[in-house]
Amino acid sequence: MTRVLIVDDNEENLYYLRALLSGHGFAVDSASHGAAALVKARQVPPDLVVSDLLMPEMDGFTLLRHWKIDGRLRTIPFVVYTATYSEAEDERLALNFGADAFILKPAEPEDFLRRIREVQASGARVPPTVPSKPTLLKLYSEVLIRKLEDKTLRLERTNRELQRDIQRLRAFKAKMKTVHDIVNNLLSGLQLVRLQAECQLPEQVLKLVDQMIEEASLKLGTLENLETVTENEMAIGPSDGS
């Protein structure tokens, strides 16, 4: 039975991969980061490893570099399975480090299993030279800088959208206050009419006034709830981008 080591810091991802692979005849072991994966692999080498890239303690790129310079592990296929590093430059960097496949999350189960079996059949691809640590740091720094720039741009775009939403909420709140005042005045007027004309109006008219008072009270409560929700939304405010 083929033994697969899956490496991911997300428990849900580990659970999914374990269920998928074990359900198709693989024996599965797992680790939550690269350092733990190296320890397990050196103790009992797997037949194949599937690793995320963005992880604490030791990320997937560093794990891949250690994997390909280890005399026992370098012949074991290494599959990158990532959602964060999704650009062509990320794939090129992983392949340059010796990755045997680069799969983007989320992959359809059939596609994922097909790629795994292809890698399993072809075996590990050992690169002619593994990047040195300074080269690794330089290349990886470039990847991180690009990711940070992308994140900054997304945060700025999100902040602009939040600012527009806040302006719309403020306008909506102003309109609600106007409606609230109108309904409140109407309710006060109806209650005054009910009090002053209780002995003068027919019972049928009094029932109609009571119904109008009840409906106005319900509308007033709904408006007050909407005002509370709007204030809570506005209190969240935009991110400062840090």
Cβ–Cβ under 8 Å, residues 81 and 105: yes
Please state the pTM of the whole predicted model: 0.59
Q: Tens digits of per-residue pLDDT, 51-94?
A: 998 888 888 888 998 898 888 898 899 999 988 777 787 888 88
Is residue 164 very low, low, confident or very high in pLDDT (cuts 50, 70, 90)? Answer: confident
Which tokens go with 224? Answer: 């007050």
- What is the pLDDT at residue 94? 85
For the chain, give the percent of residues with pLDDT over 70: 78
Which of 67, 200, 172 lies closest to 126 in space, CA to CA?
67
Confidence at residue 103, expressed as pLDDT on a 0 to 100 scale: 93
Whole-number Å distance between alpha carbons of 120 and 58: 25
The Cα 59–Cα 87 span in angstroms is 17
Looking at residue 12, its pLDDT comes to 92
Give the long-range contacts of residues 111-116, CB within 8 A, separation 24 or more: 112/20, 112/81, 113/20, 113/24, 115/79, 116/4, 116/21, 116/48, 116/50, 116/79
Q: Cα–Cα distance between 34 and 55 in angstroms, integer?
A: 7
> What's the mean pLDDT in 208-237?
72
Question: Omega of the bond prior to 106 within 30 degrees of 0, cis?
Answer: yes
Q: How far is CA 61 from CA 95, 148, 179, in A?
A: 10, 17, 59
* Cα–Cα distance for residue pair 91/84, rounded to 1 Å: 11
Please give the pLDDT value at position 158.
74
Q: Is the dihedral of CA 119, 135, 58, 84 positive or negative?
A: negative
DSSP 89-157: HHHHHHHHTT-SEEEESSPPHHHHHHHHHHHHHH-----SSPPPHHHHHHHHHHHHHHHHHHHHHHHHH
Report the percent of the chain where pLDDT is more than 90.
31
Residue 61, amino acid: F
